[in-house]
Structure 1
Amino acid sequence: MPEQTQDDTGRDRDDDGRARNARPRDRFGRPLPFGSAGVPRIPEDLDLPPAETLDYAQRLLDEGLAFNAHEVLEAAWKNGPFAEKSLWQGLAQFAVGLTHIQRGNAKGARTLLKRASDRLSAYGTAPYGIDSPGLVDRAHTLLMALEQGKPISDTDLRARLTISH
Structure 2
Amino acid sequence: MPDQPQEDIGRDRDEEGRARNARPRDRFGRPLPLGSTGVPRIPDDLDLPPTETLDYAQRLIDDGLAFNAHEVLEAAWKNGPFAEKSLWQGLAQFAVGLTHIQRGNSKGARTLLTRAAQRLTAYGPAPYDIDTAGLVACADALLTALDQGKPLSENDLRPRLTGTR
The TM-score, its normalising length taken from structure 2, stands at 0.93
Larger radius of gyration: 2
**1:19-39 deviations in whole A, cap 9, x for unaligned?**
110000000000000111100
Secondary structure at the counterpart of residue 159 of structure 1? coil
Offset at residue 152 of structure 1 (A): 1.2
Q: Which residue number in structure 2 is paired with residue 23 of structure 1?
A: 23
Distance 2:106 2:98 in 1: 10
The runs of at least 4 aligned residues of structure 1 exceeding 4 Å deviation read none
Q: Which residue number in structure 2 is paired with residue 57 of structure 1?
A: 57
Which amino acid counterpart does residue 145 of structure 1 have in structure 2? A
Gaps of 5+ in 1: 1-5
**1:102-157 deviations in whole A, cap 9, x for unaligned?**
00000000000000000000001100000000000000000000111111121111
Distance 2:123 2:109 in 1: 21
Secondary structure at the counterpart of residue 47 of structure 1? coil
Secondary structure at the counterpart of residue 156 of structure 1? helix
Q: Please tell me the root mean square deviation across aligned C-alpha atoms, in Å.
A: 1.4
- Aligned pair count reads 160
Q: Which residue number in structure 1 is paired with residue 37 of structure 2?
A: 37
Q: Give the number of the structure whose residues are more often helix, by fraction.
A: 2
Offset at residue 85 of structure 1 (A): 0.2
Secondary structure at the counterpart of residue 7 of structure 1? helix
Q: Which residue number in structure 2 is paired with residue 116 of structure 1?
A: 116
Which amino acid counterpart does residue 138 of structure 2 have in structure 1? R
The TM-score, its normalising length taken from structure 1, stands at 0.93
Distance 1:133 1:145 in 2: 18
